[in-house]
Structure 1
Amino acid sequence: MEKEQAPRWWAVVAVMIGIFLLVTAEQLPIGLLSQVASSMDVTPGVAGLMVTVPGVVAAFSAPLLPVAVGRMDRRVMLTLLMGVMVIGSVLSALASSFIFLLAARVLVGISIGGYWAVAGSIAPRLVPGDQVAKAMTVIFGGVAAASVLGVPLGTLLGDLSNWRVAFGALGGFSLLTALALWCWLPPLPPREPVRLKVLAQQFSNRGVRVAVLATGFVVVGHFAAYTFISPILQDISGVAQRHVGSLLLLYGAAGIIGNIAAGMFAARHPYRAVLAIPSLLLVVVAVFPFFGVQPSSGVLMLMMWGAVFGSVSVSIQTWILRTAPNTEAATALMAFVFNLSIGLGAMVGGRVVDVTSLPVTMWAASALFLLGALLVWRTPPNIVGMKHR
């Protein structure tokens, strides 16, 4: 903290809600893919660009935007980024063409990357030192909550009304969050200019390198398949489109359980936790086209999928805390990798699904999970905790 003062937990909550809304916005098209594709008269593969565009933009804005704004007060920066999110969401809801929609999604990507990169670094300035870990858990809990709750709830809203209403609602909530950030955050001038070279230096640490590559394999593989979960449930499992939103809530509930379980397990065994994630995803996604061919079995496998992927953030973050010499720089690097992987996964999956089929896309994703599992398996377990190896 900058001065001795009471913890600003309302500010921490406001920052967390911002992350929750931004990550929800990034991934919301996954649940609304069939609706948007039909409305805009594009293929599901092309519609997947709604995830690719903000993911790629967010990946590059994460390291570059803090550099570009220099010494701008971080309170002002976070509030402005939520304002950009409002504009991007409203324009998405009003889009008259798919090209216009993608242009609006660029604004969403800028908000996501810049906000995510700054949010983690301000926790020590809002609470005393002995409460920083808790504040970080709350702030980045918004990432997991968006994946397991925000997207399903947004999808359900879209199913009950239409996809434009879901995007418009995001804009409304983002406006309220911008006001909360302005009112609850204290002035936060940057302590030192952000340097890109610090990010590059993280690759000299073996533990960070493994975490980055494993995250890339897992997230690209996941979104190559999960971006098309709506057509997967409809075409493979025989689920009616009107039920997809409700089923994604079950996916979200399973993800919360997985997140809690992984948090407890990873605290004691981070290596095993990170190794288990791609291994289990490999099995679940690879066999889905064979065993998820009925609504009941498809829902069961969807929940298993959600439980495993819901454990990614907490497990990888625990690994980073045990290995990275500079956890703040490593977190910004992971924001770059995670968001770029979301965009690449959706793009790769879109290409494969348009050229081949949904099952082939799921098997291609499984191949990436296999690479991730092999990478972690070939890494010595004692690397976790060796910060300067």
Structure 2
Amino acid sequence: MNGTTLPADRPARIDARTAARLAALAAATFVYVTFEVFPVGLLTDMAHSLDVPESRIGLLVSGYAVVAAVVTVPTVALAARVSRGTALLGSLLVLIAAEITAALAHTYPMMVVSRVAAALTHGVLWSLIAPAAAGLVPRERVGTATAAVFGGASLASIVGSPGTTLIGQLIGWRATALLLALATAAVAAALVWALRRRPDGGPQEAAGPREEGGAGGGGMDRRAVLTLCGVALVLVTAHFLSYTYFAVLVTGITGSSGAVVALLTVFGLAGAAGTFLVGRHNDTAPRRTAAVTMAVFVAGVALLLPGFAPLPVAVGATTAAVAVALWGGAFAAAGPVFQTGIMHLAGDEADRASSIYVTGFQIGIASGSALGAALLGGSPAWLPTISTALATAVLLAVLLRSPIPGAPARASAAAPTRRGE
């Protein structure tokens, strides 16, 4: 493909080899998110098995986020001493150890150890995964590449979370954690393959020097990055305030715990659709995409509220399904929207900006989960009520302050179809 140029009105395409490497990065996000939200669908079973209240299992999610928030910036700085590929592989090896520890956990403190271990390298993976993806594609395709990698997180919602919930109900959550460890080992092997040196002897971009991984040149706009991270933090808080207690909400609305797996699947499928749609539009109209995404999120969590009214069971269940679909699709789309914005604002400091974003994201998870645990003592309807209020504030911020940067300038007509070739 050397010397091939693209018309000025056509963006560069992502070739099959690059797509395969992006798929390996997406698989890494899949297993990490699956373990991160592992307690969500199995909350009641884990509480019973470990002989603790459900709220303490919920705190495993917020505690995980607190640890990740505290250690992300220093661990990313430490990881800068090695290649991205080595750092990403190391994070997966730590995740495997954490999953095995969970499989062996017969006490709550041991489960806490498992969660802390995984949280220690969570920020490393999530801070480096988007810059690694950005380094594989032309600048005008960063949004597409980011959405592709975040597709792994959406797949975790479709297959990972409902899958571990279903398998956990069949064989127990400990055995399920062991199966997840085996899956993570397979992903680690795929990552080694994806990040190996190219047949022509050139280095893989994802394993190359850090300064080459940004979405664009120049220094980081720190004020804009912090503003966008703050907006994202509020949305994540709104999401995890209700999502951490998804099983409790669904059971309260439908009157049946059997609906949890089905609605988790709806949530995940909608997330896949949201990720696909954002990948198509985020490169060309990021601000409009952000506004639509936030509006759909507000509508989704707000529609959970009628489920707590005295409605016929069929009406309540249908409303809940629509609400979960809108909610899941919007939250999955929000990740690429915010992360791509961070990448374009970061200039040559993509890893550092991403570590700030990931720290804010984890603070949002911890805040949402902890606030949800406090509200759970009253009516479960308080969860979507507060989530709706926070999400509405985010929507207003997106509409009035425009924290998402506009679309980047397209590469010149003489740009090669693949970077580095």
TM-score w.r.t. length of structure 1: 0.84
Question: How far off its partner does 1:266 sit?
Answer: 3.6
Distance 2:390 2:369 in 1: 14
Q: Which of 366, 370, 373 does residue 343 from structure 1 map onto?
A: 366
- Going from structure 1 to structure 2, the CA distance change for 1:285 and 1:120 (only over 3 Å counts) comes to closer
Cα 1:59–1:288 shift into 2, 3 Å: same
Q: Secondary structure at the residue paired with 2:258? A: helix
Query: Are 1:232 and 2:232 counterparts?
Result: no
Corresponding residue for residue 86 of structure 1: 96
Q: Give, in angstroms, the shift of residue 213 of structure 1.
A: 1.8
The 1:247/1:132 distance shift into structure 2, 3 A limit, reads closer
324, 328, 341: which one pairs with 1:306?
Answer: 328
Task: Call closer, same or farther: CA 1:267–1:125 in 2, change over 3 Å.
Answer: closer
1:242 aligns to 2:258 (yes or no) = yes
C-alpha change, 1:76 and 1:269, in structure 2 (3 Å) is closer
Query: Which residue is 2:270 aligned to?
Result: 254
Contact 1:144 1:313 in 2 (8 A): no
Deviations 1:5-33 (A, max 9, x none): x9565544333211210111111211111
2:287 to 266, 271, 275: 271
User: Is 1:185 the counterpart of 2:195 in the alignment?
Assistant: yes
- Contact 1:88 1:107 survives alignment (8 Å): yes
Q: Secondary structure at the match of 1:310?
A: helix
1:362-377 matches, within 5 Å, as 362-377=384-399
Counterpart for residue 3 of structure 1 = none
Is this contact kept in 1: 2:300–2:325, CA < 8 A?
no
Out of 137, 143, 146, which is 2:156 matched to? 146
Of the structure 1 ranges 304-313 and 293-302, higher mean CA displacement relative to structure 2 is found in 293-302
Asked whether 1:13 is paired with 2:23, we answer: yes
Aligned equivalents of 2:105 and 2:327: distance in 1? 33
Compared CA separation, residues 78 and 146, structure 1 to 2 (3 A): same
In terms of mean alpha carbon deviation, does 127-136 or 301-310 score higher?
127-136
Quickly say closer, same or farther: Cα 1:274–1:11, change in 2 above 3 A: closer
For residues 95 and 372 of structure 2, the distance between their equivalents in structure 1, rounded to whole angstroms, comes to 26
What SS does the corresponding residue of 2:151 show, helix, strand or coil? helix
Instruction: Using the TM superposition, give the Cα deviation of residue 359 of structure 1 relative to its aligned residue in structure 2, in angstroms.
Output: 0.7
How far does residue 315 in structure 1 lie from its aligned partner after superposition? 2.4
Per the alignment, do residues 382 and 276 of structure 1 end up closer, same or farther by CA in structure 2, a change over 3 Å counting?
closer
Residue pairs, 1:33-48, within 5 angstroms: 33-48=43-58
For 1:305 and 1:298, locate their aligned partners in 2 and report how far apart those are by CA, in whole Å: 10
The letter of the residue matching 2:232 is: T
Q: Is the 8 A contact 2:84 2:208 kept in 1?
A: yes
1:217 and 2:240 correspond? no
The range that moved more, 26-35 or 240-249, is: 240-249
Q: Secondary structure at the match of 2:325?
A: helix
Q: Give the superposition deviation at 1:382.
A: 9.2
8 Å CA contact 1:213–1:372 kept in 2: the answer is no
CA contact (8 A) 2:284 2:407 kept: no
SS at match of 1:72: coil
**Does the 8 A contact of 2:251 with 2:259 survive in 1?**
no
- Asked if the contact 1:56/1:339 (under 8 Å) is kept, the reply is yes
Matched to 1:286, the amino acid is A
The equivalent residue for 1:295 is: 317
For residues 8 and 301 of structure 1, the distance between their equivalents in structure 2, rounded to whole angstroms, comes to: 36
Q: Is 2:104 the counterpart of 1:105?
A: no
How far did residue 349 of structure 1 move? Answer: 0.9
Which residue in 2 is equivalent to 1:198? none
Q: Which residue of 2 aligns with 1:95?
A: 105
Counterpart check, 1:116 vs 2:134:
no
Distance in structure 2 (CA, Å) of the matches to 1:128 and 1:319: 16
User: How far off its partner does 1:192 sit?
Assistant: 5.9
Structure 2 CA distance for aligned equivalents of residues 42 and 174 of structure 1 = 28
Q: Is the 8 A contact 1:254 1:306 kept in 2?
A: yes
Indicate yes or no: 2:361 matched with 1:334: no
Compared with structure 1, are the counterparts of its residues 140 and 29 closer, same or farther at alpha carbon in structure 2 (3 Å cutoff)? Answer: same
- With normalisation by structure 2, the TM-score equals 0.78
Identify unmatched segments of 5+ residues in structure 2: 1-15, 198-205, 212-218, 310-315, 410-421
Structure 1 residue 154 displacement after superposition: 1.9
Identical-residue share of aligned pairs (%): 25
CA contact 1:7–1:126 (8 Å) conserved in 2: no
Q: Size of the alignment, in residue pairs? A: 373
- The structure having more radius of gyration, on CA atoms, is 2
Name 2:169's counterpart in structure 1.
Answer: 159
Q: Report the CA distance shift for 1:184/1:353 in structure 2 as closer, same or farther (over 3 A).
A: same
Distance in 2 (alpha carbons) for counterparts of 1:75 and 1:20: 17
The one of 263, 269, 283 aligned to 2:299: 283
> Residue 252 of structure 1 aligns to a residue in which SS?
helix
**Closer, same or farther: CA 191–330 of 1 in aligned 2, 3 Å:** same
Q: Which amino acid aligns with 1:163?
A: W
